[in-house]
Structure 1
Amino acid sequence: MSSGVSTSTDKNIVDKSRSHRNKAVSKAVRATRERLQSSANGSHGFARDALALHINNVLQAALIIPAFVAIVAAIGTYMVGDASLLPWALLTLAVHSINLLLARRASRLELTSANTSRWQRLFLFGQLLMGLCWAIFAASECDACGAENGYYFFKGGALLLAISITAISNVSLRLAVIVGFIPPLIALSVVSITGERAMDIALSGMCATAVLLFHYISDRLYRSNLTLMSYQSEKDDLIAELEVAKSVSDEARRRAEEANLAKSRFLASMSHELRTPLNAILGFSEVMSSEVLGPMANPTYKEYAADIHRSGQHLLNLINEILDLSRIEAGRYELTEEALSLLEVAEDCIGMVQLRARAKNITIHQQFEPNMPQVWADEKSIRQVLLNLLSNAVKFTNQGGEVTVKVGWTAGGGQYVAIKDNGPGIAEEEIPIVLSAFGQGSIAIKSAEQGTGLGLPIVQAILAKHDGQFILRSKLREGTEVIAILPATRVLQSVPAVADTQAVEPRRKSFA
């Protein structure tokens, strides 16, 4: 039943995360593609954005047209000598005010895909009304100017400035220049046809050329704006997609951490349930193999009992290592700290592996610095660290090899234990593997004495709990050296750290 609940929970977790990721990411990607594809051949994809930009430009440049119209009316009145241009100026300002009110109203409303086209037509109609006003100005003449051509230059300059101002202020509204200045061009054409004067014809041609030129420029600017909008939209959508992916990744990491913590807590809490039956198996198998209750009639049964005892011991060691690592990961590995001598612990551990080393004709050399003070640490944990390291050295050293154990001072005032063997060594690329949980190098895999791959991770974790450090150096066919370091803060009778370079070198050589 618990298995079914766990499976259901796992499915719910996976389904929720995948559904959330797929919906959010697919929506962002689909929106990006639709907008880019719709704007590839025209302005439909970003028509609403372009119209919003046009409304903003109209409101920001609200005073430019009134100022320009006032200047033109003032100069024209001075040249003509009467107030005939004042009604034109008032009419133009009134039409401009209507366009401003239209833009202000549009800015207060929400632009949608449905009403965008309608607002575009309204703004183009406003430009047409302004064009009618400029057509009135283009049809005006100066009877008092006589044969002089000054008024033609004034009128041509005013129309060119009006075309340029319209083109610049309406970049985000397509066809604004054409719609706004078709009426003036028609008026100039009628005047040039009826009057048959060379200046009128030249003015008409000049204004028509200017309208076409500024329409081309404004159209290019409009397309550039669309390109920038598409880039901005793509960037925004990609940022949104990255945010979704990041949130999904954070959620997946959180769930993985919770699952890993739950696993570690479960294994740590199952220590009693796992060890109790194994202890019974080990006890009864040892009693049977030792024939405490009497001799066995069949010697094969005695061998079987010994095999059961060895297998149970191996399984118990495996469970102990898994539980130790699980307790460390779950944060339930408590240290029972006390004053201890690193030299004495190292000697005891060497004595424990000495019998095994003699069986392989391995010589263990000791290089201990005398009179080293005690350290503040968990004796059981430190003993486990040294036994793991010594057992590995003996296990992977060939027949007749050598193992050197050094205990001394670090350059920073701490204490260290270095264990070096002349075994086959570890390839450089395999060092991260052997330092990971359940990781084994190629030598360990080929060896007949395979382990669990948890020894070195447990060593690292225990030393980290003591604020210490673990170093592994190895080369193929040259051997391996492992160093367990306890910091100076754990030495009860501290010595000052070495300051000068000459004093540091001997301490560093002690690691070699």
Structure 2
Amino acid sequence: FAGLGNQVAVWALFTLLCYAIVTFMARRVERTEAAELDPVQTRRDFLIGHSLCGLGWAWFAWLGCATCQVDQFHVVKAMVLLVAMATTAVMASSLGGALLATFAVPVAVYVYAVLRLWMPIEGIMAALLVAALPFFGYVARHLNQSSWMLLSFRSEKDALIAEVETAKSMSDEARRRAEDANLAKSRFLASMSHELRTPLNAILGFSEVMANEVLGPMNNPTYRDYAHDVHESGQHLLDLINEILDLSRIEAGRYQLNEEPVVLVTIVEDCCHMMELRARNKDIRVIQEFETALPRLFGDERAIRQIALNLLSNAIKFTPSGG
């Protein structure tokens, strides 16, 4: 390119200055808050900047050199313009119309310069440039759509992350409230069990005194049986209170079975005796048939007693009167 002299230097300086202006505009927009930007005006400014760069490429397309020692100089210029168009299509794909604003004039100038010479190879290169402009425009538009889709996916991802964090915070808050409620329930059960045990122990004590006739004989045997029933029912109520406390321990994961050898027949007989009054009120007969040779079971006596009472209670509840 020695024959071009100072023309290339001036052209390169002008083109670099135009691209420096566009770069400065991009940096300024990057540092500015989004709320302070006017999208329409910003887009117009960038298109003007790219149009100035297009003037530099138009100058390059018009350059001629009869003394250059380069074969097919117009072909070289066409190849340079194709590379510049491809680069602009990729780099400025987010700005619609940037490719057309930059290279519409240079392509027109190149076609005009080639038509003056009317050489076959230069004509082919001119046609290639004309066809490349809409092609690279199509590529830039597709890249722009891909960028929008990527931003949309990123926004959806951020929204999902925010929703997950919100749900996690709500879950943590709900768990904290549940733990507080469980602690309050445990305190309530502990307090109520203490309040119930105090009068219940008095009932158990007095009923045992009456049933055993400690203070003197009871002339009516029915009253003595009632005293036994009161004592056994009170004992059962005390066991229920302990069951409630055990349930709270189960929920807290601290319940332990007190396993020991127990006689199943004795437990079921006691339960039948406790449910006898309820059965009589419904005119129901509880027939007790046991296998006396049963071995001892290894288990929690209170849990087995509760199972037997539940079974007997359901049997009496769902058996019609007179059964």
Range class of TM-score, shorter chain: 0.7 to 0.9
**2:292 & 2:205 partners in 1: Cα distance?**
35
Once the 2 structures are TM-superposed, how far is the Cα of residue 253 of structure 1 from its aligned partner?
A: 0.8
| Paired position in structure 1 for 2:285 | none
SS of aligned partner of 1:142: coil
| Corresponding letter in the other structure for 1:252 | A
**1:125 & 1:250 partners in 2: Cα distance?**
54
| Paired position in structure 1 for 2:311 | 447
| Paired position in structure 2 for 1:166 | 88
1:292–1:445 CA distance, 2 compared to 1 (3 A): closer
* Residue deviations 1:113-154 (CA, integer Å, cap 9, x gap): 8533432332222111111111111122223359x8521111
Equivalent residue in structure 2 for 1:225, among 147, 160, 163: 147
* Residue deviations 1:83-106 (CA, integer Å, cap 9, x gap): 222221111111111112112212
| Corresponding letter in the other structure for 2:266 | R
SS of aligned partner of 2:205: helix
Q: Does 1:181 pair with 2:103?
A: yes
Does the 8 Å contact 1:289/1:305 carry over to 2? yes
* Residue deviations 1:400-430 (CA, integer Å, cap 9, x gap): 463356xxxxxxxxxxxxx38xxxxxxxxxx
Q: Of the two structures, which has the highest relative contact order with CA contacts closer than 8 Å and spacing of 6 or more?
A: 2
| Paired position in structure 1 for 2:23 | 100
**2:9 & 2:93 partners in 1: Cα distance?**
29
| Corresponding letter in the other structure for 1:311 | S
Q: In proportion to residue count, which structure has more strand?
A: 1
Larger Rg: 2
Does the 8 Å contact 1:163/1:181 carry over to 2? yes
* Residue deviations 1:341-376 (CA, integer Å, cap 9, x gap): xxxx99xx65x748827969xxxxxxxxxxxxxxxx
| Paired position in structure 1 for 2:226 | 304
| Paired position in structure 2 for 1:356 | 266
Aligned residues: 291
Equivalent residue in structure 2 for 1:289, among 181, 186, 211: 211
Does the 8 Å contact 1:285/1:306 carry over to 2? yes
SS of aligned partner of 1:87: helix
| Corresponding letter in the other structure for 1:190 | Y
**2:229 & 2:222 partners in 1: Cα distance?**
11
| Corresponding letter in the other structure for 1:277 | P
| Corresponding letter in the other structure for 1:128 | S
* Residue deviations 1:428-461 (CA, integer Å, cap 9, x gap): xxxxxxxxxx9x99x86872278xxxxxxxxxxx
Which 5+ residue runs of structure 2 have no aligned equivalent?
271-288, 315-323
1:94–1:357 CA distance, 2 compared to 1 (3 A): closer
Equivalent residue in structure 2 for 1:211, among 133, 145, 151: 133
**Which 10-residue stretch deviates more, 200-209 or 258-267?**
200-209
Q: Does 1:265 pair with 2:129?
A: no
1:444–1:97 CA distance, 2 compared to 1 (3 A): farther
SS of aligned partner of 2:7: coil
SS of aligned partner of 1:399: coil
**2:227 & 2:60 partners in 1: Cα distance?**
118
| Paired position in structure 1 for 2:319 | none
| Paired position in structure 2 for 1:38 | none
Once the 2 structures are TM-superposed, how far is the Cα of residue 172 of structure 1 from its aligned partner?
A: 2.7
**2:13 & 2:268 partners in 1: Cα distance?**
115
Q: Does 1:274 pair with 2:196?
A: yes
Q: In proportion to residue count, which structure has more helix?
A: 2
Does the 8 Å contact 2:265/2:290 carry over to 1? no
Equivalent residue in structure 2 for 1:85, among 2, 8, 18: 8
1:304-343 aligned at under 5 Å gives the runs 304-323=226-245, 326=248
SS of aligned partner of 1:266: helix
Does the 8 Å contact 1:191/1:200 carry over to 2? no
Does the 8 Å contact 1:135/1:187 carry over to 2? yes
| Paired position in structure 2 for 1:386 | none
Does the 8 Å contact 1:264/1:329 carry over to 2? no
**2:166 & 2:81 partners in 1: Cα distance?**
54
Percent sequence identity over aligned pairs: 46
**Which 10-residue stretch deviates more, 93-102 or 281-290?**
281-290
**1:104 & 1:91 partners in 2: Cα distance?**
20
Q: Does 1:253 pair with 2:175?
A: yes
Does the 8 Å contact 1:188/1:204 carry over to 2? yes
| Corresponding letter in the other structure for 2:10 | P
| Paired position in structure 2 for 1:482 | none
Normalised by the size of structure 1, how large is the TM-score? Answer: 0.49
Could you say what the CA RMSD is over the residues aligned between the two structures, in angstroms?
Answer: 3.8
